[in-house]
Chain A
Amino acid sequence: MVMGMERGARVGTMGLTLVAAILGIVFLGWNFPSGYESGRWQIAGLAFDGLTAFFLFLLFLGQGMASLYGMSYMKEYEGKKSLVSFSLAWLGFLGSMMGVLIVDQGFYFLFLWELMSLFSFFLVIFEHEEAPNRTAAFIYFVMTHVGTVFLTAAVLYLYSKTGSFAYTDWATYAPGLSQGERSFLFVFFLIGFGTKAGLVPFHIWLPYAHPVAPSPVSALMSGVMVKVSLYMIMRLVWLTLNPVEIWWGVVLLALGVLSAFVGILYASIEQDVKRLLAYSTVENIGILVTALGTAMIAQTLGYSEIVVLALAAFFWHGLHHLLFKSTLFMAAGNIIQATHTRRLDQLGGLLKKMPRTGFWALGGAIGLSALPPLGGFWGEWLLFHSLWKTSVQAGEGMLKLVLPLIIATIAFVSALALATMVKWFAGAFLGQARSPQAEASQELAWPQTTAMGIALCLSVLPVLWPQGLLAIFNAPMGVFNLPVLATTNSVALPIFTNLYQLITPYGLLILLFTGILFLLSRAKQRRTSGTWNCGTPLTSRMQYTSLGMTMPLRIVFKRILAFHPKIDREYGGNRYILRSLQYHSRIREMAEDVIYRPTMKLVLWCADRIRILQTGSIHIYLAYTLVTLVIVLIWTM
């Protein structure tokens, strides 16, 4: 009876959200503006603009894939956990995300934003039996509320100035605010949304919270939720706090590059299947914010072509990150269900046991390492071009110097992403199994691999037909009053023609070349034998571990990573006979050490001082009331 209900809750909820996602995409497609309609949309009585529509599209995509996946994935919990409560939180989470996208006024926004945080918190703490999960959820809870404090303050400030909660009223009033006020609001919004997006240095919760949630939730949080906060930055900063200051763009650019760098550096040395992906989310959010910052700088300088280019990079990368990151989180979920471990150094050889998961995961890994022919690279291509063009056009000043350096940094980030993804994929799927669980693993039910396949196939579409995807970008671009993008039959900016001439040929030519060469590579004779190992038998412990794989990076960046390995040796008799050797190493998050622990200490110290006020004596409390009353009276006089 209970089992039946659980099953019903699982299949019903996931089915519901899956159908809702499909219907949502169909609705958006049905109502897609045929031309340039200043970005307003009317769907089923709801009015919203193209920016909302684009992010709704992302939400529905992520929701659809995660629901299909979750339908099978959550089966594991049946009989062990309450799936009804999970279902409620799932529905609430999806609903509140959609709400945040749709609302157009501050009060409901705050309410729904808080709901989104709470429901995702419930989902993160779903497996609360393990202490680390509770810690992770707590860190998430605290961080997201610190962010919300800043948002609430900013929203209430705008309300007190305008007497209205509507975004449009704020936008009309904003030019009347002083530059200082707008800048303050920008900083508050940046902290608030940056926390949710996982921008360095507000990112510390993300590597804790994303991995411990069930995998469909991780996919949604990494793929969609962080982008909802980028949507809000565009909505409440760019479209509301006009005119935009140039230094806001510079701040976004700097934080974006910092996030990309820090995120990928920590990802490259991570050994947990899901934590690595979470850090990679920090990296990709960094790249997205870099694109956003570039667009903002170009906007203030009046280079509308570059704004289009940078925003195209932003939307392109946003969509592709969603697809690839969902695929990889789903792959991680499959790995966890098949082997019951999240540690890369216990996995290995899964490609033979889970061929379908492995195949799609390979695609996701190529995509996230920003390699062609998949779209991950072309987003970066657009970003490189927008940075480069801004540098060419900017007549003078530091920008001209800094932007090419940012290109170099992003190139470094993508090379590290390659190292990270090689490590992730090879650690889990290649070589020999490093543990009995990995040896015994099996492929999972079809929805769990089909959902991945759908994500990957969707990411192939823009390679075959880039114009189609760029035509979709016209919807959000329209909101920014920019020149219309190239659609299927017209090209507005010459650079996009160049892009079209590269994307599809690259995809087709690599297929052609590889195909021909593969046919030619069939040798006359082929023999199967063991891997050559200097004549000794090969064991699974002889492989490079995921720790060893990126050890050079650890050593070179040890200052940043605070990496100090400790080696304990035990000798028998003299120092030529080594009895045992123990190696301890730990990586500490610099942001935690430099910012959060001191802050926490300060808060605790202050709390300790303030406690003197709280003596427990009712007389003193009455005296406090009296003093307060007198002060207030004097104040009001």
Chain B
Amino acid sequence: MSMVWQLDWKIIVFSCFHLLLFLLAAPLLQGWIKKVKAFWQMRRGPSLLQPYRDLRKYMDKEEVISEHASWILLITPSIVLGSTLLSSLVIPGPWGGAPIQGMGSLFWLVASFGLARFFLALAGLDAGGTFGGMGSSREVFVAALVEPAFILSLVVLALMTETTSLTVMIAELQGMSIFETPRILALLALVLIAIAEMGRIPVDNPDTHLELTMIHEGMLLDYSGRSLAFLHWAEQLKQLLLLQLIALLIMPVNMNLLYTQGGGIQFGVLVTQSILQIGLVALLGAFFATIESAHVKVRLFRIPNFLAVGLAAAILALLTLWITKGGI
């Protein structure tokens, strides 16, 4: 068992820093997206820090627990936030490295989202209300349609770079042109999927509690107080992770530039790259906010058509990769 435990304090400190950074940045991104949406709606909108204030407010509030629910309802917020944090361990930070970067970290990411979804869907059904069940039913339905495209687009990138480690994949993409067709198509698929995974228009509407439209909010309906804060935080974190992943796949960080000849870290380069990276994430956030402002939420049974475009893009990415690289 010994080789598993090659942990030293550096990795632990780095991991804690990584987790904290993502955790603290997530509400800011949410605030930014809201701000951009407010801009398109010709409003001033709430402050960028509003999501933090909301979280603090929820943290201090009294919690109301359903008498019909079981312990599943109680543990779900912890598991959802916990597994979302776990998935953040494989997403590289703005400096290009992640605490866990072995082969197969790609599947770790997808599976962690799955674990969170499993418990959230159970919790939606736990209280025995109609709205929770509605949310769960739609969530697992949308997830089933998202999953193949999500995995396939990542697998196409994995085939291009010959690795299933997200960190190494991003480092390898550094050397490739952004205009390679498979890469563009895979990114397109990821963008479409990210909309569904983040629960944004046209798939889901994060701002409403109208039972006809809600998916993710439906499952949270029986939560209040600190549990609700956890679940909101997890959702914001997931949003940040997806945008960060897409940003890194568009513009990979060049890890080689970070180190000097002697192995030290070039702080100038690090800061520049990090700022560029964060800028790209902010740009993507604005992009998704714009889509959300320009589009309407589609009916539930139109979602498959929307996601089919994502799947088609992923399959086309595979096909173009096969034609250009594989050789017939």
Contacts and interface: CB of A to CB of B under 8 A. Distances in A.
18 contacts: A351-B71, A358-B70, A372-B112, A372-B115, A384-B164, A408-B148, A426-B122, A430-B122, A504-B1, A514-B79, A515-B78, A518-B75, A521-B74, A521-B230, A523-B225, A531-B132, A553-B144, A555-B301
Interface residues of A, number: 94
Interface string B153-166: 00110110010100
B45 interface: no
B70 A500 contact: no
Interface stretch (B57-65, B194-202, B253-261, B266-274): B57-65
B78 A518 contact: yes
Q: Which range contains the number of B residues in contact with the other chain?
A: 35 or more
A419 interface: yes
Contacts of B146: 415
A26 interface: no
Contact of B133 (A497, A544, A555): A544
Interface in B172-219: none
A500 B158 CA distance: 20
Given A388-B155, A430-B126, A431-B126, A531 B137 contact: no
Contacts of B112: 372
Interface in A504-540: 504-506, 509-510, 513-515, 517-518, 520-533, 538, 540
Interface stretch (A36-44, A119-127, A273-281, A389-397): A389-397
Interface string B85-115: 1100100000000001011110110111011
A73 to B, nearest CB: 25
A407 B327 contact: no
Contacts of B141: 419, 550, 552-553, 556
Interface string B119-131: 0011001111110
Interface stretch (B25-33, B34-42, B236-244, B318-326): B318-326
Contacts of B107: 377, 380-381, 384
A405 interface: yes
A548 interface: yes
Contacts of A521: 74, 77-78, 226-227, 230
Given A414-B114, A538-B68, 7 more contacts: A384-B151, A408-B155, A431-B133, A513-B86, A523-B227, A531-B128, A532-B222
A241 B192 CA distance: 48
A422 B121 contact: yes
Contacts of A377: 107, 111
B300 interface: yes
Cβ-closest 3 pairs across A and B: A544-B133, A513-B82, A415-B147
A105 interface: no
Contact of A528 (B65, B122, B155, B300): B65
B146 to A, nearest CB: 8
A531 B221 CA distance: 9
Given A523-B61, A527-B62, A418 B143 contact: yes
Interface string A312-355: 00000000000000000000000000000000000011011000
Contacts of A501: 4, 100, 102
A17 to B, nearest CB: 34
B315 A405 contact: yes
Given A404-B159, A419-B141, A510 B134 contact: no
A467 interface: yes
Nearest to A395: B327
A362 to B, nearest CB: 8
A538 B70 contact: no
Interface in A384-424: 384-385, 388, 391-392, 395-397, 400-401, 404-405, 407-409, 411-412, 414-416, 418-419, 421-423
Nearest to A431: B128
Given A372-B111, A527-B65, A533-B130, A418 B118 contact: yes
Interface in B237-289: none
A517 B81 contact: yes
Q: For B107, B128, B158, B221, which residue has the most chain A Cβ atoms within 10 angstroms?
A: B128
Contact of A411 (B86, B110, B133, B318): B110
A306 interface: no
Interface centre among B121, B144, B162, B227 (most CB of A within 10 A): B144
A531 B62 contact: no
A440 interface: no
B275 to A, nearest CB: 30
Given A388-B164, A532-B129, A540-B128, A426 B151 contact: no
A351 B127 contact: no
Nearest to A423: B140
B167 interface: no
Contacts of A529: 64-67
A395 B326 CA distance: 7
A400 B138 contact: no
Contacts of B78: 513-515, 517-518, 521
A543 B63 contact: no
Given A527-B64, A528-B65, A530-B68, A498 B103 contact: yes
Contacts of A215: none
A497 B127 CA distance: 43
Contacts of B122: 422, 425-426, 430
B140 A422 contact: yes
A510 B89 CA distance: 12
Contacts of A495: 103-104
B169 interface: no
Nearest to A381: B107
Residue among A358, A396, A491, A526 having the largest count of chain B Cβ atoms under 10 Å: A526
B232 interface: no
A415 B148 contact: yes
Contact of B66 (A369, A426, A530): A530
A96 interface: no
Contacts of A634: none
Given A352-B70, A523-B61, A526-B65, A411 B102 contact: no
A550 B62 contact: no
B108 A404 contact: no
Contacts of B327: 395-396
A310 interface: no
Contact of B136 (A358, A426, A556): A426
A461 interface: no
B161 to A, nearest CB: 10
Contact of A552 (B75, B137, B222): B137
Contacts of B301: 552, 555-556
A502 interface: yes
A357 to B, nearest CB: 13
Given A542-B130, A552-B138, A467 B60 contact: no
B27 to A, nearest CB: 17
A530 B67 contact: yes
Contact of A467 (B1, B65, B128, B164): B1
B55 to A, nearest CB: 13
A285 B133 CA distance: 30
A538 B221 CA distance: 15
B291 interface: no
Contacts of A418: 114, 117-118, 121, 140, 143-144
Given A408-B155, A514-B75, A381 B104 contact: yes
A258 interface: no
B155 A524 contact: no
A551 B137 contact: yes
Contact of B152 (A349, A369, A407, A502): A407
Contact of B130 (A415, A526, A544): A544
A525 B86 contact: no
Contacts of A502: 100, 102, 104-105, 108
Nearest to B319: A401
B152 A411 contact: yes
Contacts of A421: 118
A419 B140 contact: yes
B170 interface: no
A371 interface: yes
